[in-house]
Amino acid sequence: MISRASALLLFTSLAAFAVEPVPEFHGSIERLDSALDALIAPDAKIEVLASGFNWSEGPVWRDGGIVFSDVPENTVFGWKEGDTAAKVVLKPSGSLSDPDGQGSNGLAVDANGNLVLCQHGERRIARLEKDGSFTPLAWSYEGKRFNSPNDLVIAKNGTIFFTDPPYGLKGGKPELAIHGVYAVNPAALNVVTLVVSDVQWPNGIALSPDQKTLYVAVSDKENTRVMAYDLQGDGTAKNGRVFFNAQSLKTADRKGGCDGMKVDTNGNIYTTGPGGVLIVSKDGKHLGTILTGQATANCAWGGEDRSTLYITADMFLLRVKTLAKGL
């Protein structure tokens, strides 16, 4: 089941994306526990790499640079060291028949180096092949189309876990009554397992270093939090529990909720939330926050040694050099 994208494909476009004047950025790193000093050096700074996006999302490190979605612009952008602006690398990214439709959201890279996308407009998970075609991997559950797959994580065995809230429907009709978390093995197209069905507004998703715990960020405006589940041998999840509740952190100055997240090699969680990126220990203790001053969507590890945290925060692409290393 292969379809071909109808516009700029792969990582070949040299079209630059820049908006003048560059919006002013104010950010800082808030330290709540001395344990944060082992993860982010006391003199670490937030760097602005690019700006002017509509809504930046879903970053992932690929081919020596960071790539990320601009969801409303139906575009994947890329940035590498030395670039003065981000460049268009894939357009359309998530709505192939409607250039003005909703683009990709969460991105991942599989073991073969292929980009795997949550495509809002197409309501599916798809893999971008080397020849520029898309291979749909998951598009329905029990005969009903997904809402709008939002974020994903790929396990060591190749299984793709993904969330399916309705944020990207934009007037489309939901066919599923639940906002599920699912799993699919790319070797068996659209053979989908329902992993979690007991939350509304699941968003970001991550795995613990030992692959035994599944973390799901919940973007509920009234109860934003990170859930933890024990993964079972059959691919299902049990023992759902609140790992970290961020609702009390929301203020007029600290925008956003729990959205995208990543994990470092020691099991610490870096989840976007009120104010920016919250750093939470594997025991659920809030160690500090990378304050962006923006509603912050997602983050990803990059660099050759995976010790740089790239952050998509509304109109900005940011980075912070870390002492921790990402999975």
pLDDT tens digits along 46-99: 999 999 999 999 999 999 999 999 999 999 999 999 999 999 999 999 999 998
Kind of pairing, strands 47-51 and 3-4? unpaired
The set of residues, in sequence order, having a beta carbon less than 8 Å from that of 227 and lying 6+ positions away, is 196, 199, 215, 216, 217, 218, 240, 241, 242, 243
Annotated domain spans of the chain: 10-321
- Nearest Cα neighbor of 266 from 225, 322, 205 is 322
Percent over 90 (pLDDT), the chain: 88
Q: Please write the tens of the pLDDT for every residue from 157-183.
A: 999 999 999 999 988 899 999 999 999
Q: Which residue has the higher pLDDT, 99 or 208?
A: 208
CATH node for 10-321:
2.120.10.30
pLDDT-derived band at 225 (thresholds 50, 70, 90) equals: very high
Please tell me the predicted confidence (pLDDT) of residue 19.
41
Among the residue ranges 30-34, 222-226, 233-237, 291-295, the one predicted with the least confidence is 233-237
Triad 201, 143, 215: Cα angle to 5°: 30
Q: How far apart are CA 54 and CA 257, in angstroms?
A: 18
Distance from chain centroid for Cα 16: 23
Task: Report the 3 state secondary structure along 227-260.
Answer: EEEEECCCCCEEEEEEEEECHHHCCCCCCCCCCC
Q: Is 146 left (phi over 0), alpha (psi -120 to 50) or beta?
A: beta
Tokens encoding 233: 């041998």
Q: Which residue has the higher pLDDT, 12 or 169?
A: 169
Q: For residue 17, what are the β-bridge partners? A: 86
Residues 289 and 49: beta-carbon distance below 8 Å = no
23 pLDDT higher than 70? no
Q: For residue 4, what are the β-bridge partners? A: 133
Q: Please write the tens of the pLDDT for every residue from 106-139.
A: 999 999 999 999 999 999 999 999 999 999 999 9
22 pLDDT higher than 60? no
**DSSP helix/strand/coil, 44:** coil
Please tell me the predicted confidence (pLDDT) of residue 16.
43
Q: Which residue has the higher pLDDT, 283 or 7?
A: 283
Triad 259, 260, 262: Cα angle to 5°: 140
Full strand arrangement of the beta sheet holding 65-70:
16-17, 86-90, 75-79, 65-70, 56-62
Q: pTM for the whole thing?
A: 0.93
Q: How far apart are CA 60 and CA 110, in angstroms?
A: 11
pLDDT-derived band at 149 (thresholds 50, 70, 90) equals: very high
Please tell me the predicted confidence (pLDDT) of residue 233.
86
